[in-house]
C-alpha cells in the first residue's frame, strides 16, 4: 500500500496565511492508531475507555472504527450515543468515488458529561453493510488518488479535534497499512502475554516505520505506546511476573525514542499493563464510567495511566516512574478551571492572622478561602477547587496540614513542573530549618507579631499574578492600605490617650479621602496600624460605638473607591 501513496502532498496541517510553525503545532491535533496483531486482546475496550477519559479531561476527541471487517467500537458507546450512525469510514470511500472534494460529515456525537467526544463508525450498521464494504477496492482507490482525499480528511480531523483515536484492523493488510503507516502520528500497540503476540509486535512496528519512510508525507518516526493487556496476576502471580518481565524485555526497543533513559522499560510497562478482570470480559462496557475514581487494583486505574501518557504527549515519563498518581493528576487537571486562586491552611493557634491574611488578599482581588480541617471528604473537594495552597505554619506542620499538603502535591505535579504552587508563610518564631524538605526549599514569607499581614498579602499577590510587589497603582494601593488599617481597629485599647489618637487618626483619614490627598491617607494608615497593634488584655477602654460606626462608614467609602478603580 505504501508504494501506491507516491503522490505529491504534505501531512502538515493547513495554517492561516503568515501562521508560524509554532502556531501550527499548537492548533493541530494528534492521530493515534490502536493496533493489535491478533484480535481478542482488548484493543477496542482500551481505546473506548481512553477516549472517554481524554474527553472528561477537557480534550476534544474523535474515535474512528477502521476495523471494517469486524466493526464493534460503536457497541461500547451505545449508552452515550446521541443517534445511530448513518454513515462511517466506508462512506468516505463512496464520497470520493462520487467526486466529493471534501468528506461529508459522518461522525455522531457521544454524550459524556457534556464533553466533546464523537464516533466515526465503520458504517451504517444494517444488513447491507458487509456488501457495501466488500465492494470497496482499496488498491484501486489509491490508484485513483484516494490518498490525497484521505489526507484532506485527516487535516479536517486534526483541526476539529485534539485527539483522533483509530481502532485498526488486526494483522497485515491494505486497510491496516492505512491505519498504521499513512494516518497516525503515534501508535498504541496492544498485546497479550504469549509468544505469538510477542513474536510479531516489534517486527510489525519496524515494518510500519519502513512503509512510513516511503510515504510522500512529512511525518516523523512513530512514537509507540506498548500496552500489555489482560494480564491475570490474581492467582498465578509468579508466572504473571515472569511474563511481564519477558514482555518488557521484548518491547523495550519501542520505548527508545520517548521514555526517559533512567526509567527502566520493565517499570514503564508495569504502569502500562491493563489487568484481566473477568467482570469486564462480558459485553462491551465503559469501565471508567463506573470506576470513578478507580482504586489500584481496578482496570480503570491502568487505563487512566495509558490515557495520561497520551494526554501528555508521551512526555515527563520520569514523573510517571516517580509518582504515577501525580502524573495522572497532571493530565487530568491540565485544563481545569479553578473556583479559587488560593486555599489558606492554618492551625488554630494563628487562625486570627490567617483570616486577616485572607481579608487582605481579597482586597487585592484574590479569590481565596480558608480550608476546613477535620473533614477528609471536604478536603478532597476543596483541594481541587483551589489552584494554589498556602500553608501558614506556626512552629511546625500540624498533622492535618501534613495530610492537606500531601493530597495537594499528589494532584499537582505537572508536565512542566506544575502550574499549581505551594506557598509557605511562617508565624513568628518558626524555624525554617525544622520544616520538611519540600517546605524548607521554598521561599518563605514571615508574619510580624501584632502586625496585620498586609505586606505578606502583597507578596503573595505578586507571586500569584507574576507582577512585582511594587508594580501596582500607588493610589489604589493607598486605598487598600487604608482599608487594611481600618479593619484592624480593635474593640478595646489600653489607654484613654491612645483611644483619643485613634479617633483623631480616623477623622484625619476621612478628611484626606474627602480632599483626594492619598499621600496623607497613606501616612495616617500607617499611624492607625501602629495604634491598633497592642490590644488590652482584659482591661483598657472600650471603643465608643460612634468611633466604630465612623470606622465602618469610612471603610465602606474606601471599598467603593477600590471597586471603582478596579472596574
What confidence tier does 40 reach under pLDDT thresholds 50, 70, 90? confident
Cis peptide before 293 (omega within 30 of 0): yes
481 & 468 share domain: no
How far is the C-alpha of 142 from the C-alpha of 173, rounded, in Å? 14
Q: Looking at beta carbons, which pairs linking 174-180 to residues 24 or more positions away fall under 8 Å?
A: 174/1, 174/138, 174/139, 175/66, 175/68, 175/69, 175/138, 176/35, 177/1, 177/2, 177/208, 177/211, 178/1, 178/66, 178/138, 178/150, 179/33, 179/35, 179/66, 180/33, 180/35, 180/204, 180/208, 180/211
pLDDT above 70 (res 37): yes
Task: Sort 22 into a burial class: Cβ within 10 Å, 0-12 / 13-18 / 19+.
Answer: exposed
CATH code, domain with 128: 3.40.50.300
Lowest-pLDDT range of 45-59, 92-106, 278-292, 469-483: 469-483
Q: Give the range of the structural domain holding residue 403, as residue numbers without chain letter.
A: 337-472
CATH code, domain with 442: 3.40.50.10140
327 & 345 share domain: no
Is pLDDT larger for residue 226 or for residue 281? 226
pLDDT above 80 (res 540): no
User: Final residue of a domain: which of 297, 318, 333?
Assistant: 333
Q: pLDDT tens digits, residue range 184-240?
A: 999 999 999 988 888 788 888 888 888 787 777 777 788 999 999 988 877 787 888
**Three-state DSSP state, 443:** coil
How far is the C-alpha of 447 from the C-alpha of 393, rounded, in Å? 10
pLDDT at 20: 37
User: Does 99 reside within a domain?
Assistant: yes
Mean pLDDT of 24-39: 78
What confidence tier does 410 reach under pLDDT thresholds 50, 70, 90? low
How far is the C-alpha of 288 from the C-alpha of 298, rounded, in Å? 10
pLDDT at 373: 60
Mean pLDDT of 88-94: 92
378 & 231 share domain: no
161 & 116 share domain: yes
pLDDT above 50 (res 11): no
DSSP for 358-410 reads HHHHHHTT--EEE--TT-HHHHHHHHHHEEEEEEEEBSB--HHHHHHHHHHHH
52 & 194 share domain: yes
466 & 545 share domain: no
433 & 567 share domain: no
Is pLDDT larger for residue 487 or for residue 157? 157
Give me the chain's average pLDDT, please. 83
What confidence tier does 25 reach under pLDDT thresholds 50, 70, 90? very low
User: Does 21 reside within a domain?
Assistant: no
How far is the C-alpha of 247 from the C-alpha of 134, rounded, in Å? 37
Locus of grid cell 516489534: 202
Mean pLDDT of 403-416: 68
pLDDT at 543: 86
70 & 207 share domain: yes
**DSSP one-letter code for 81:** B
User: Does 26 reside within a domain?
Assistant: no
pLDDT above 70 (res 7): no
Structural domains of the chain, count = 3
How far is the C-alpha of 462 from the C-alpha of 459, rounded, in Å? 5
pLDDT at 257: 92
In 10 A of CB 473, how many CB atoms? 11
pLDDT at 297: 84
User: Does 25 reside within a domain?
Assistant: no
160 & 284 share domain: yes
pLDDT at 554: 92
277 & 133 share domain: yes
149 & 229 share domain: yes
User: Does 15 reside within a domain?
Assistant: no
Mean pLDDT of 25-34: 78
User: Does 527 reside within a domain?
Assistant: yes
Q: pLDDT tens digits, residue range 150-190?
A: 999 999 999 999 999 999 987 666 566 788 888 999 999 99
User: Does 10 reside within a domain?
Assistant: no
User: Final residue of a domain: which of 316, 333, 350?
Assistant: 333
User: Final residue of a domain: which of 421, 449, 472?
Assistant: 472
pLDDT at 2: 42
User: Does 9 reside within a domain?
Assistant: no
pLDDT at 35: 93
Is the model's pTM score more than 0.85?
A: no
421 & 528 share domain: no
Amino acid at each position: 500500500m505504501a508504494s501506491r501513496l507516491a503522490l505529491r502532498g504534505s501531512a502538515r496541517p493547513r495554517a492561516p496565511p503568515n501562521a508560524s510553525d509554532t502556531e501550527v503545532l499548537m492548533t493541530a491535533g494528534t492521530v493515534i492508531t490502536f493496533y493489535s496483531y491478533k484480535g481478542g486482546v482488548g484493543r477496542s475496550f482500551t481505546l473506548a475507555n481512553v477516549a472517554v477519559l481524554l474527553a472528561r479531561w477537557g480534550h476534544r476527541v474523535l474515535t474512528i472504527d477502521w476495523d471494517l471487517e469486524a466493526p464493534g467500537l460503536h457497541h461500547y458507546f451505545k449508552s452515550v450515543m446521541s443517534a445511530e450512525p448513518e454513515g462511517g469510514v466506508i462512506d468516505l470511500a463512496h464520497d470520493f468515488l462520487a467526486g466529493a472534494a471534501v468528506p461529508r460529515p459522518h461522525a455522531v456525537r457521544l454524550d459524556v458529561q457534556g464533553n466533546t467526544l464523537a464516533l466515526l463508525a465503520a458504517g451504517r450498521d444494517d444488513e447491507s453493510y458487509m456488501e457495501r464494504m466488500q465492494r470497496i477496492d482499496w488498491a484501486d482507490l489509491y490508484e485513483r488518488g484516494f490518498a490525497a482525499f484521505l489526507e484532506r480528511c485527516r487535516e479536517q480531523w486534526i483541526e476539529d479535534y485534539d485527539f483522533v483515536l483509530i481502532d485498526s484492523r488486526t494483522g497485515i493488510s491494505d486497510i491496516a497499512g492505512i491505519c498504521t503507516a499513512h494516518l497516525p502520528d503515534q501508535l498504541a500497540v496492544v498485546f497479550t502475554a504469549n509468544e505469538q503476540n510477542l513474536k510479531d509486535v516489534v517486527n510489525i512496528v519496524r515494518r510500519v516505520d519502513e512503509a512510513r519512510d516511503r510515504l510522500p508525507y512529512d511525518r516523523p518516526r512513530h512514537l509507540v505506546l506498548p500496552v500489555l493487556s489482560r494480564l491475570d496476576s490474581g492467582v498465578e502471580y509468579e508466572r504473571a511476573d515472569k511474563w511481564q518481565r519477558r514482555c518488557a524485555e521484548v518491547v523495550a526497543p519501542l520505548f527508545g525514542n520517548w521514555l526517559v533513559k533512567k526509567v527502566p522499560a520493565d517499570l514503564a510497562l508495569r504502569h502500562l499493563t491493563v489487568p484481566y478482570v473477568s467482570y469486564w470480559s462480558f459485553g462491551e462496557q465503559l469501565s471508567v464510567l463506573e470506576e470513578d475514581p478507580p482504586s489500584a487494583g481496578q482496570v480503570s486505574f491502568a487505563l487512566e495511566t495509558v490515557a495520561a501518557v497520551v494526554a501528555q504527549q508521551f512526555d515527563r515519563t520520569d514523573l510517571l516512574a516517580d509518582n504515577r498518581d501525580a502524573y495522572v493528576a497532571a493530565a487530568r487537571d491540565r485544563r481545569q478551571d479553578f473556583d479559587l486562586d488560593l486555599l489558606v491552611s492554618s492551625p488554630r493557634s494563628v487562625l486570627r492572622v490567617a483570616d486577616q491574611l485572607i481579608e487582605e488578599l481579597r482586597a487585592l482581588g484574590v479569590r481565596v478561602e480558608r480550608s476546613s480541617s477535620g473533614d477528609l471528604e471536604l478536603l478532597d473537594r476543596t483541594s481541587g477547587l483551589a489552584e494554589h495552597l498556602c500553608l501558614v505554619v506556626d512552629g511546625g506542620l500540624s498533622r492535618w496540614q501534613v495530610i492537606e499538603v500531601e493530597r495537594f502535591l499528589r494532584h499537582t505535579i505537572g508536565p512542566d513542573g506544575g502550574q499549581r504552587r505551594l506557598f509557605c508563610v511562617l508565624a513568628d518564631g518558626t524555624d525554617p530549618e525544622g520544616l520538611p524538605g519540600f517546605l524548607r526549599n521554598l521561599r518563605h514569607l514571615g508574619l510580624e507579631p501584632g502586625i496585620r499581614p498586609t505586606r505578606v498579602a502583597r507578596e503573595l499577590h505578586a507571586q500569584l499574578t507574576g507582577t512585582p510587589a511594587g508594580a501596582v497603582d500607588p493610589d489604589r494601593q493607598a486605598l487598600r492600605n487604608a482599608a487594611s488599617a481600618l479593619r484592624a481597629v480593635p474593640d478595646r485599647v489600653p489607654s484613654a490617650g491612645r483611644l483619643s489618637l485613634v479617633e483623631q487618626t480616623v477623622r484625619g483619614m476621612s478628611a484626606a479621602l474627602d480632599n483626594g490627598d492619598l499621600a496623607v491617607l497613606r501616612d495616617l494608615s500607617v499611624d492607625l496600624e501602629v495604634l491598633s497593634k497592642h490590644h488590652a488584655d482584659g482591661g483598657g477602654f472600650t471603643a465608643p460605638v460612634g468611633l466604630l460606626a465612623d470606622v465602618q462608614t469610612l471603610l465602606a467609602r474606601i471599598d467603593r473607591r477600590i471597586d471603582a478603580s478596579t472596574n
